[in-house]
Amino acid sequence: MKTVLTYGTFDLLHYGHIEFLKKAKQMGDFLVVGVSNDKFNEQKGKKAYFPYEKRKAMIEAIRYVDLVIEQTSFEQKREDIIKYNVDILVSSEDWLGQYDYLRELCEVIYLPRTPEISTTKIKEDLKL
């Protein structure tokens, strides 16, 4: 069985998120998704519209996702890769190269974003 791991805030869930998770799931048999908790988002300078528990529930409802875990820091990736016996870590291309140091533990793949949509774009568009 091949296990895939990815992370995100997943605020204002949109079809770009769904496509990303679908592609991640296609790389293996079991998809683990780390959802950033509210405290970690604050540390990153992000403010989510939905609290962690609501975002977690939305991600759990997606058919491609097998397990949702709480992300509390960037550093936990190494621990999660070992704990969940991860074969592939998937991230979006805007983090290109940032997780290459984890290649000693698993394969690292950066996927392109869906170009016409992002949570940031939605927030900006709604300010009209």
Q: Residues with catalytic annotation?
A: 44, 46
Which pLDDT does position 128 carry in this prediction?
Answer: 52
Which pLDDT does position 39 carry in this prediction?
Answer: 97
How much is the mean pLDDT over the chain? 92
Q: Are 16 and 113 in contact (CB under 8 A)?
A: yes
Q: Say how many C-beta atoms besides its own lie within 10 A of residue 21's C-beta.
A: 23
Q: What is the mean pLDDT of residues 40-56?
A: 92
Q: Does position 16 have pLDDT exceeding 90, yes or no?
A: no
Which CATH number fits the domain that encloses residue 18? 3.40.50.620
**For the ranges 23-37, 55-69, 109-123, which has the lowest average pLDDT?**
109-123
Q: Which tokens go with 33? A: 């998704």
- Which residues constitute the domain of residue 100? 3-125
Q: How many domains does the chain have?
A: 1
Q: Which amino acid belongs to residue 120?
A: T
* Phi, psi dihedrals of residue 71, rounded to the nearest 5°: -95, 125
> Percentage of residues in the chain with pLDDT exceeding 70?
92
pLDDT digits (tens, 9 = 90+) for 51-98: 999 999 999 999 999 999 999 999 999 999 999 999 999 999 989 999
